[in-house]
Amino acid sequence: MSDKNQEFPIDLELEAPLKKVRYPGFDMDIMSMQLVTEAHLTEGKAVIHLRPVSAPPEVREELENQIAAMVREATGVKEVEVHSPEPPKPKKEEKGPHPIDGVKWVIPVASGKGGVGKSTVAVNLAMALSALGLKVGILDLDLYGPSVPMMLGVTGMQPDAVGDKIGPIMAHGLKAMSVGFLIKADTALIWRGPLVMKAVRQLLHDVAWAPLDVLVLDLPPGTGDVQITMAQEVPITGAVVVTTPQDVALTDAIKGVDMFRQVGAPIMGIVENMSYFNCPDCGSRHEIFGHGSVKPLCEKLGVPYLGEIPLDPALRQLADLGQPKAVLESPAGEPYRELAKKVMDQLNSQD
């Protein structure tokens, strides 16, 4: 381009024809809309540059055809070249799951409905995996009812900053993080979609988890924004689905399994919680919820059966007092030690 052209970006003889070109669907001409950035006539050829505009391809084509027709008619040149660039695409956010720095495996603990023992399983599984010698973290993603701080006996603790990350709370050898550490216990937060996504993303990626072998995720019940964001944000090693042997809970377990399948996440299997009750008075085993229905369900769904955990009042007491170590070392901890071994086997077979 010559200096002269830079000074006068639109050749005079092209102004008039371009003024006749109306933007498709609008009353204004493209000159008044300041769409034309350059227009030159050289050696029997017209070259016209437009500003980038968002338009469907057919509108773009109509515009180019109109320009060519008007310029040809007015100047008699045969060759008309119209450049109408597409606007730059809005910069895409970093999409797709990407591993958490320094974390090898991610195990979400999920269920279709609340109160089936997800958090209890998540905390005790994390403790049992840690007792097997792994470096373990637990992330409470139940934004609506965080219970990990209470179950670990560390309510009211406040995380420190570690560089540009949030330092996890150390509790019983686990690295723990929960919305419960970040907001006041009595703050009622209304979590809407975008806020949920932001919180989940930050809890996964902006916490100083490294180095960890396993990060256990305690999910809220159901199949909502938290679960979807989680699946979009991190590669999942395998999900543990918790259910009780009641019919309703089983339906929810199927939904839970379906959800992970739909996001392409592998499933470690289903745990049957509150499966039976060992009566401390009479010593006999009571199968209150119709025990035994989860194993056949697993076979039907083609996912591993991860075992059963009895209804144990001692467990409830210790869990609610925030003493996971006492749980693990008591008879109540046995089913979790078994569960951890099964999970460990699956982890080892992934290497």
DSSP β-ladder status, 45-50 and 79-83: parallel
**Contact present, 291 and 308 (Cβ < 8 Å):** yes
229 binds Mg ion (CB under 5 A): no
Alpha carbon of 80 to those of 39, 43, 68, 72: distances in Å? Answer: 10, 11, 6, 7
Closer residue to ligand ADP in complex, CB, 68/271: 271
DSSP string, 31-68: TTTT-EEEEEEETTEEEEEE------HHHHHHHHHHHH
Closer residue to ligand ADP in complex, CB, 134/339: 339
Taking contact as CB under 5 A, which single stretch among the options 62-70, 118-126, 197-205, 318-326 is the one that binds Mg ion? 118-126
What's the half-sphere exposure (Cβ side, CA atoms, 13 Å) at 116? 34
Strand partners, 212: 103
Buried b (16+ CB within 10 A) or exposed e, 130-149: bbeebbbbbbbbbbbebbbb
Could you tell me where the beta strands, DSSP code E, fall in 190-280? 212-218, 239-243, 267-278
Site residues, ligand ADP (CB under 6 A): 111, 114-120, 147, 273-274, 309, 311-312, 315-316, 319-320
Shortest separation between residue 118's beta carbon and ligand ADP, angstroms: 3
Could you tell me where the beta strands, DSSP code E, fall in 86-125? 103-110
Residue 235 site contact among ligand ADP, Mg ion, none (CB < 5 to 8 Å, cut-off depends on kind): none
* Residues recorded for the chain: 351
Residue 309 site contact among Mg ion, ligand ADP, none (CB < 5 to 8 Å, cut-off depends on kind): ligand ADP
Residue 227 site contact among Mg ion, ligand ADP, none (CB < 5 to 8 Å, cut-off depends on kind): none
Q: Measured over all CA atoms, what is the biggest interatomic distance in the chain, rounded to whole angstroms? A: 105
Shortest separation between residue 127's beta carbon and Mg ion, angstroms: 16
Taking contact as CB under 5 A, which single stretch among the options 19-27, 63-71, 115-123, 204-212 is the one that binds Mg ion? 115-123
Shortest separation between residue 105's beta carbon and ligand ADP, angstroms: 21
Closest to 226 measured CA to CA, from 264, 273, 188, 259? 259
Closer residue to Mg ion in complex, CB, 35/319: 319
Closer residue to Mg ion in complex, CB, 147/178: 147
* Eight-class DSSP state of 210: -
Site for Mg ion in 131-160 (CB under 5 A): 142, 147
Taking contact as CB under 5 A, which single stretch among the options 27-35, 56-64, 116-124, 335-343 is the one that binds Mg ion? 116-124
Strand partners, 139: 177, 217
Alpha carbon of 88 to those of 50, 92, 95, 114, 300: distances in Å? Answer: 14, 11, 18, 45, 50
Residue 320 site contact among Mg ion, ligand ADP, none (CB < 5 to 8 Å, cut-off depends on kind): ligand ADP
Closer residue to ligand ADP in complex, CB, 64/272: 272
Closer residue to Mg ion in complex, CB, 147/229: 147
Closer residue to ligand ADP in complex, CB, 106/315: 315
Residue 115 site contact among ligand ADP, Mg ion, none (CB < 5 to 8 Å, cut-off depends on kind): ligand ADP
Residue 111 site contact among Mg ion, ligand ADP, none (CB < 5 to 8 Å, cut-off depends on kind): ligand ADP
Shortest separation between residue 119's beta carbon and ligand ADP, angstroms: 3
Shortest separation between residue 124's beta carbon and ligand ADP, angstroms: 9
Out of 111, 119, 243, 293, the only residue in the binding site for Mg ion (CB under 5 A) is: 119
Using CB under 5 A as the criterion, which residues of the chain lie in contact with Mg ion when the complex forms? 118-119, 142, 147
